[in-house]
Structure 1
Amino acid sequence: MEGIAAKYVEKGLVRVPREADEVWKDECAYTFANAFTTGGGASPSSSSSEGGGVLVSLKTWIGYSEDSLGLALHADKGGLFLRIRRTKVEKGDDGDGSDGKKDEGVTEFALGTENGFKLDDQKYEVEEKLSLVAYPDNVEVGLPCDGLPPVVGECVSAIMSHKDGHTESLISEWKEELQVTKYAEALMQDESPVPVSSDPEKWRCASCGAKTNLWLNLSDGYIGCGRRNFDGTGGCGAALTHYEATGSMFPLAVKLGTITPKGADVFCYAPDENDMVINPLLSKHLQHWGINMLEMEKTDKTMAEMQIDLNLKHEFDSITEEGSKLVPAGGPGLVGLKNLGNSCYMNSVMQLVCSTSGVKSTYAAHAQGIFDAFAAQASSSSSSSSGKKPQSTLVVQMAKLSRALVLAQGVPREEEKEEGDCTLSVSPNMFKTLIGRGHPEFSSSRQQDSVEFFQHFLEQVSRAERADGSLLPESFKRTSSHFTFQFEDRFECGESKKVMYKQREDNVLALSIPLDKATNLEEIREYEERQNKKLKLEETKGAEEPKVVPNVPFQACLDSFAQEEVLDDFYSAAVMRKTAASRTVRFKSFPPYLVVYLRRYYVDASWRPCKMEVNVDIPDEISLEGYRSAGLKPGEQELPEGSPSKEEPAAVTPNQEIVNQLMGMGFSENGCKRAAIAMQNASAEVCMEWILQHMEDADFNDPIRGTGVQVGGPPAGHSQESIMMLTSMGFTERQCNAALDACQGSVERAADWLFSHADDLEGAIDAIETQKKGDGNKPGEGDKYEDVPGNYRLAGIVSHIGKNTGSGHYVAHVRRGSDWYIMNDEKVARSEKPPLHLAYMCLFEAKKD
């Protein structure tokens, strides 16, 4: 090996990575083989007991599997590779460095934390073995090895000491961030307090005498039960009843059995908080009642523990569909995605996306061709510092991911699987790092909204397909074209009766849920009457009656979407003034795949995100042809130019009431006015959606010139000041202009964009410039919209467990033929009763017949 290694060193095929260089050593760039992969890499046909692991090039510091090693040799006839092999050894009770502390089970609603659900690195010890491989010489020696050129040892040491390119930490997925209560500072407390006993055995509910789930009102010392849970456990609700009976003056209560030196569960009953909160003065408030936190021990379950015990344990067999046991499944189309820490939103969406025919034909079926084409292109520019890398090329990573999910190829074998476990899963580390790069939210480990991620994904993959369309099959259609469609808005002037038709594109159909159309309104009314009667009579005995939830037909949601909307402040060019008008929305075209999302989440009067408790019966098939626009009808007269469009922005004056509501959320006055103008003063909710999409526009907070505002898209030109600020960082003017185009003129975001694309800056700039020019001659450019008959069959859903889309957990259910499967991150199983009525996001596929 010494002579072979020296030969490659002389050819310059060994480079020592510097601290600023990226090293991808944990996973193959083309398959999902990793250091734990056994035998012949990711090849399921290999029976070799040797090999396995990941092979890292000592020249490019990119990882390969044995199956993909040939892709590393396009530029060179051979090279040296560091093989990293790891095995997991389950931690034992003795001699494992755990200081003999017993596992106390899950006590925190989180993943990867000390008291939460354990991740692999917390369950196992890892043994590591290194070796040096010369390929295609097929010579391998274990490391360390005497006699190798010093630079080889330096390179190996630098690779092993480097962090992998995927550095995002696995953090809590379920744990919600609590807000500091505003009631702590001025909390009233009884001037003559009766000390509370420090003996938990003496604690009793003042109403029913219960001894558990007890809450101490921090103002007057009342001890009462918490509320009853849906399964009949919990308490009589005396703590809440007491708060209401005392004029709602004393809002803070602490759960007695949870008090420890580290804190305790505190709940605020005030309507504007009405949630678990942080009380920074808890120690002082408890001292008032003779309770010393430093001396207290935990004797009761926290609210997080109770939530886990009730229905949210992160265990495969206990994920219930009305109590049914799930049968694990695995194979082509049935590969799970491991949770990387709050990545369930991404996992669920990609399971739906990769089940579509366009992704299957473009990426999964042609994955090897994409890999070969990329390797050939990369080899021709290998001497350039700006050469592309597979881990930072979205087209390559899409091929890698879709091939694994659709064909179950490139999926590593796992040693620790139990006998009979047929499930397959991969860790989408490179894909998540790449798809979120440069985005403040999707690059983080925080939970996100699945619908927002879906739209972000379509935008990013469209850019990638423009830049790297040469890697794709000649006949490919843009991924976004399979989901994009057009709405047509019809405006009718109330006075002149003249009309105007305007088209706009979208990729999701957002449906509001009209609760007043529930089919069980009478049952809901009777339930509420029974609950109010119980509350007045202070009845606490007997099992809690299951809550009656509204059942709203899906058709009612569609009818609500299509109904006529009245505009009170519409500028009509026909009468040359503002007047009343009506607006209706219809489809101008239908896509092959229609994504529908149900607006289950809303902002309450206190601007807090809340979730509707409602069931929507999602049908197996829908027909939307009745909602297709027919365009200008015979006898209709068109409004002259100057109607509410970009040509006449000055015609709209922002509604001050809407502006005030939006400003109450913390947005600037100018930004709120822009939203009201852009959305024609539709409503605060509609304007808020516009703000969320445009709040980072360069001119969002700028004073409004006149009374109108132009919305969307990058500015026509960029100020010289912005260009100079970026060029002072060492970038060219061309690079700065492209970055500002990509970030709608925001200098701060443009700087982040430039640094985040440093490994492939030229390719990213080419994509921006191509998009700006609107070049229609590249593959896939001419298929922005497809129009198919509006008859659809349900193909999959994403449902969400949690209070809002920024926390909780997402799960996908997908149809494979006539069967349904649940895809709960890495766990895949046949689904007996998919929870269609709880869907948040639906994927409908156009019917073929």
Structure 2
Amino acid sequence: CSLRLVFISFLPTKHSLSLSPSQNSKNTQGLVGLRNLGNTCFMNSILQCLSNTHDLRDYCLRNTHRIDLNNNCRAKAALMEEFAKLTQTLWTTASNEAVSPSDFKTQVQKYAPRFMGYNQQDAQEFLRFLLDGLHNEVNRGSLRARTPVEDFDHLSDDEKAKRMWNKYLEREDSKVVDLFVGQLKSSLTCSECGFCSTVFDPFWDLSLPIAKSSGEVTLNDCLRLFTKEDVLDGNEKPTCQRCKAKRKCTKKFTIQKFPKVLVLHLKRFSEARVKTAKLSTFVNFPIKELDLRQFASDNSVNAIYNLYAVSNHTGTTLGGHYTAYCRNPSSGEWYTYNDSRVSPMSSSQVRSSDAYVLFYELTNCSRM
């Protein structure tokens, strides 16, 4: 749900230490903070998570994005340019002094006016807007001719999924899609005749409901809740393609195509009758070897992920602050990013009840 309340940004704690200025530039690569421009911790948190996304970082550092920008001349490229420039600064500056993301924020506001001003915003919503904006500016598919609409219903599920994925790439094809987009399979089974219809849709992230439990809640519990079979009855009855009538059906999600970078959003904010409430449930998630094969359409695929970044939200809906925990892709060490402050941390500290958006990378980097 959309979080539109104004937050109060907390100041970094006295225990949040800056890296020593005596360290050389190689040791400070990627360990540079971002200044808070006024309630912009939500933006800083997401930027640090993306800066530590290995392939996206390299895409910017090697200026490969310029090739896609040049080939996509109809797009205004200021957002991608500022993002790349900021990423390059975080990874090449000889100083560990915090940098200002003000030029980047200016371009964000032009692309998405809802982020104008200095009110606190929802980090996951910002991530979606940002990835969409970056993708649009380096979209290789925007210049391609469209092929006619085809009917894939007569094909097997696997063939239908491939055709629909290729159809999607005709329109939406960028480095951002290469990294972040997967494919979800939705199966609808008629309780009357047993006919099963399938739909395949791209996804940029998965928003997971937080399971209710008297004991420990795990990430797998949340994924099971997301993929559990739902009964559609009463006013929700869909029309069965075979019966040609509204029928009670069961609906289930599975993951057809796993993205290289899997973004999992824990739905901590819920709209109550009077106000927005926050769930502070501790969700236990693995740092290494998150095995998602049980949620795959085909459980023989590679679906093992390692965590590399977390966007955290501390506080309540009335006053909160965003930070990031990221594993440096060069050293493999974990660090806390708290606006201007960057400090080393242990991997044992990464799990907390503040975890809001989780970033996982597929262990085998080759695409399916």
TM superposition score normalised by structure 2: 0.77
* Equivalent position SS for 1:366: coil
Q: Which amino acid aligns with 1:451?
A: Q
1:337 paired to 2:28: no
In 2, the alpha carbon distance for the partners of 1:318 and 1:574 equals 64
1:366 paired to 2:366: no
Kindly indicate whether structure 1 or structure 2 has the higher relative contact order, using CA contacts under 8 Å at least 6 residues apart: 2
C-alpha displacement at 1:370, in angstroms? 4.6
Aligned to 1:622: 290
Contact conserved, 1:359 with 1:402, CA < 8 A, in 2? no
Alignment of 1:669-688 (within 5 A): none
In 2, the alpha carbon distance for the partners of 1:595 and 1:559 equals 16
C-alpha displacement at 1:408, in angstroms? 2.6
Aligned to 1:826: 340
1:404 paired to 2:89: yes
**Structure 1 residues 843, 365: closer, same or farther in 2, change over 3 A?**
same
In 2, the alpha carbon distance for the partners of 1:826 and 1:362 equals 24
Q: Which amino acid aligns with 2:46?
A: V
C-alpha displacement at 1:511, in angstroms? 1.0
* Equivalent position SS for 1:425: coil
- String of CA shifts for 1:684-727, please: whole Å, max 9, x gaps: xxxxxxxxxxxxxxxxxxxxxxxxxxxxxxxxxxxxxxxxxxxx
C-alpha displacement at 1:841, in angstroms? 0.4
Aligned to 2:320: 808
**Structure 1 residues 315, 585: closer, same or farther in 2, change over 3 A?**
closer
- String of CA shifts for 1:136-169, please: whole Å, max 9, x gaps: xxxxxxxxxxxxxxxxxxxxxxxxxxxxxxxxxx
In 2, the alpha carbon distance for the partners of 1:514 and 1:466 equals 37
Aligned to 1:837: 352
Alignment of 1:191-340 (within 5 A): 314-319=11-16, 326=17, 328=19, 331-340=28-37
C-alpha displacement at 1:570, in angstroms? 2.0
C-alpha displacement at 1:627, in angstroms? 1.4
Aligned to 2:134: 461
**Structure 1 residues 794, 824: closer, same or farther in 2, change over 3 A?**
same
Contact conserved, 1:344 with 1:825, CA < 8 A, in 2? yes
C-alpha displacement at 1:612, in angstroms? 1.1
In 2, the alpha carbon distance for the partners of 1:430 and 1:558 equals 38
- String of CA shifts for 1:508-559, please: whole Å, max 9, x gaps: 111111113x42xxxxxxxxxxxxxxxxxxxxxxxxxxxxxxx312221121
Contact conserved, 1:448 with 1:807, CA < 8 A, in 2? no
Alignment of 1:678-757 (within 5 A): none
C-alpha displacement at 1:489, in angstroms? 0.2
Q: Which runs of 5+ in 1 are unaligned?
A: 1-171, 176-311, 320-325, 379-387, 414-422, 471-475, 520-550, 632-787
Aligned to 2:265: 597
C-alpha displacement at 1:579, in angstroms? 1.7
- Within the candidate set 553, 560, 563, 2:225 is matched to 560
**Structure 1 residues 566, 393: closer, same or farther in 2, change over 3 A?**
same
C-alpha displacement at 1:356, in angstroms? 1.6
* Equivalent position SS for 2:194: coil
Aligned length: 311
- Percent sequence identity over matched residues? 26
In 1, the alpha carbon distance for the partners of 2:81 and 2:228 equals 44
Alignment of 1:768-779 (within 5 A): none
- Within the candidate set 351, 363, 368, 1:847 is matched to 363
C-alpha displacement at 1:327, in angstroms? 6.6
In 2, the alpha carbon distance for the partners of 1:604 and 1:363 equals 41
TM superposition score normalised by structure 1: 0.34
In 2, the alpha carbon distance for the partners of 1:462 and 1:366 equals 15
Q: Which amino acid aligns with 1:589?
A: K
Aligned to 1:710: none
Aligned to 1:495: 192
1:507 paired to 2:213: no
**Structure 1 residues 315, 562: closer, same or farther in 2, change over 3 A?**
closer
In 2, the alpha carbon distance for the partners of 1:453 and 1:590 equals 22
* Equivalent position SS for 1:328: coil
Bigger fraction of residues in strand: 2
C-alpha displacement at 1:574, in angstroms? 2.1
- String of CA shifts for 1:76-114, please: whole Å, max 9, x gaps: xxxxxxxxxxxxxxxxxxxxxxxxxxxxxxxxxxxxxxx
In 2, the alpha carbon distance for the partners of 1:577 and 1:463 equals 40
Q: Which runs of 5+ in 2 are unaligned?
A: 1-5, 21-26, 144-172
C-alpha displacement at 1:610, in angstroms? 0.4
Q: Which amino acid aligns with 1:584?
A: K
**The structure with more radius of gyration:** 1
Alignment of 1:639-650 (within 5 A): none
- String of CA shifts for 1:377-400, please: whole Å, max 9, x gaps: x9xxxxxxxxx8xxx722321221
1:425 paired to 2:98: yes
Alignment root-mean-square deviation, CA: 3.0
- String of CA shifts for 1:235-255, please: whole Å, max 9, x gaps: xxxxxxxxxxxxxxxxxxxxx
- Within the candidate set 453, 471, 480, 2:177 is matched to 480
Contact conserved, 2:135 with 2:174, CA < 8 A, in 1? no
C-alpha displacement at 1:469, in angstroms? 10
Aligned to 2:148: none
C-alpha displacement at 1:347, in angstroms? 0.9
**Structure 1 residues 497, 399: closer, same or farther in 2, change over 3 A?**
same
* Equivalent position SS for 1:614: coil
